[in-house]
Amino acid sequence: DAMVIQNPRYQVTQFGKPVTLSCSQTLNHNVMYWYQQKSSQAPKLLFHYYDKDFNNEADTPDNFQSRRPNTSFCFLDIRSPGLGDAAMYLCATSRDPAPNEKLFFGSGTQLSVL
Amino acid sequence: AQSVTQLDSQVPVFEEAPVELRCNYSSSVSVYLFWYVQYPNQGLQLLLKYLSGSTLVKGINGFEAEFNKSQTSFHLRKPSVHISDTAEYFCAVSGSGNTGKLIFGQGTTLQVKP
């Protein structure tokens, strides 16, 4: 089945140690999103790629970066994770960036920071 | 700017009983409204969406929602729930001017008891 795949399901890192989360998609969608979801809070959009164009949300910390080397893959890099960055990170895709588009989500990566 | 409020963090209900999950939104522009469901250890998936037209929207798994512009609400209903409906439900809004940017509510946990 075409889908959005996130690896790993659980990631543990140390305070200040760079970490990369990955997302791949077989839907051939143009847009890929990264959401951060802290415990008992709403998912919050960090940034998205529309094809190769990167769109950062105004309140996304500089500590968070993203790469999209090709249509299928997108990475979330956290340069110096702090304890407050522990969260579920959700990757999603859509065919195009129109506000009425359906988003397809991966299962998420639960990040723990020790 | 848009915002979403889900009024109940947890809704316990017995199997075969009806359920309503409440969602209110605020926006200064026309909106698109969505309900997503997240089953345990899975990604979010779209239940239904309101774009325009009929205010009563039917989705998957027997769920429906009604858009009420005057009350700025988009409550989700199901006449008879099953154990398998136990999940986290997210209401979301995107504005006509935003590039696919979904604003999520904090989620409501539906707990269906036998």
- Give the tens place of pLDDT for each residue, B19-71: 999 999 988 777 899 999 999 878 899 999 999 888 999 999 999 999 999 99
Contact B112, B86 (CB under 8 A): yes
Residue A47 and residue A33: Cα distance in Å, rounded? 6
Residues in CB range of B67: below 8 A, 6 or more apart: B33, B50, B55, B56, B57, B73, B74
CB contact under 8 A, B42 and A100: no
Say what the pLDDT of residue B2 is: 80
- The 10 Å Cβ neighbour count of residue B45 is 15
* Whole-number Cα distances in Å, B80 to B14, B39, B46, B60: 9, 18, 20, 14
Spans of chain A below 70 pLDDT: 1-2
Sort out which chain A residues have CB atoms less than 8 A from B94's CB and list them.
99-100
Say what the pLDDT of residue B96 is: 63
pLDDT category at B99 given cuts 50, 70, 90 is low
SS3 B26: strand
Min Cα distance A101 → chain B (Å) is 7
Say what the pLDDT of residue A23 is: 97
pLDDT exceeding 90 applies to what percent of chain B?
74
Q: Which residues of A touch B (CB under 8 A)?
A: 4, 6, 31, 33, 40-45, 48, 50, 55, 90, 92, 94, 96-108
